[in-house]
């Protein structure tokens, strides 16, 4: 509870993965709008992630969905970047905010110079296109610091935390709040 007796608002963000089937079949924007209204969450606190391969399956549909999600102030991320058969032209045309660097490149960085080169290239590409980056699969402090030094904006992986239930996630956040 906050000092006024009301619920305390937390400065947290929510990420939701979307499947290619959902994008093709459902009215994603209407579902998201309804969920935002029901939860009281604002769109700027929500990131919706689509895999690279689902975008390539139907680029016109992905464009419509992304535009509708951006109208709700949501952040749009391309998940598993670098693992599919995407055209770099999609990165120019689609309103993508974040490129998520696939764990297959991240996990090999400490032993494979080619993985480092690929991650560097993705980071430069994202920067040139005005996109943010998130590295997936960070499991060690060495990976976290190396990626930060290379300019990666954020990361996710077991180094930070394993998947947690809602209550445990809140306690984890509270324990790290002062750090």
Q: Encode pLDDT of 127-140 as tens digits.
A: 999 999 999 999 99
Q: Please, what is the Cα angle at 157 between 90 and 34, to 5 degrees?
A: 60
Q: Are residues 108 and 58 located together in one domain of the fold?
A: no
Whether residue 158 is predicted with pLDDT greater than 70 in this model: the reply is: yes
Whether residue 3 is predicted with pLDDT greater than 50 in this model: the reply is: no
- Domain of 113 in residue numbering reads as 97-166
Spatial distance between the Cα atoms of 73 and 110, rounded to a whole number of angstroms? 37
Q: Are residues 112 and 74 located together in one domain of the fold?
A: no
At 64-112, the pLDDT tens digits run 888 999 999 999 998 888 776 666 777 888 889 999 999 999 999 989 9
At 168-178, the pLDDT tens digits run 988 888 888 76
Which of 23, 49, 79 marks a domain boundary?
79
DSSP E strand stretches across the chain = 14-18, 46-51, 75-81, 98-101, 132-136, 154-156
Question: What pLDDT score was predicted for residue 8?
Answer: 57
Q: Are residues 75 and 103 located together in one domain of the fold?
A: no
Whether residue 59 is predicted with pLDDT greater than 90 in this model: the reply is: no
Q: Are residues 64 and 123 located together in one domain of the fold?
A: no
Q: How confident is the model at residue 7 (pLDDT cuts 50, 70, 90)?
A: low
Question: What pLDDT score was predicted for residue 119?
Answer: 95
Report the domain count for the chain.
Answer: 2
Question: What pLDDT score was predicted for residue 133?
Answer: 96
Residue matched to tokens 């990131």:
47
In a domain, 139, yes or no: yes
Of 86 and 152, more confident: 152
Q: Are residues 18 and 74 located together in one domain of the fold?
A: yes
In a domain, 8, yes or no: no
Q: Are residues 68 and 117 located together in one domain of the fold?
A: no
Which of 79, 110, 135 marks a domain boundary?
79
């Amino acid at each position: 509870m906050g000092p006024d007796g009301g619920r305390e608002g937390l400065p947290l963000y929510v990420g939701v993965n979307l499947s290619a089937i959902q994008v093709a079949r459902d009215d994603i924007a209407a579902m998201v709008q309804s969920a935002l209204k029901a939860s009281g969450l604002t769109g700027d606190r929500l990131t919706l992630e689509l895999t690279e391969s689902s975008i390539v399956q139907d680029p016109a549909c992905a464009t419509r969905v992304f535009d509708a999600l951006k109208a709700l102030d949501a952040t749009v991320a391309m998940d598993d970047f670098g693992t599919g058969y995407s055209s770099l032209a999609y990165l120019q045309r689609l309103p993508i905010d974040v490129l998520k660097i696939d764990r297959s490149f991240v996990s090999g960085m400490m032993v494979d110079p080619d993985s480092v080169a690929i991650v560097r290239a993705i980071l430069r590409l994202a920067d040139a296109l005005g996109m943010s980056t998130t590295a997936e699969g960070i499991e060690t402090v060495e990976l976290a610091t190396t990626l930060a030094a290379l300019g990666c904006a954020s990361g996710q992986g077991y180094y930070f935390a394993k998947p947690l239930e809602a209550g445990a996630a809140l306690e984890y956040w509270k324990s790290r709040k002062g750090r």
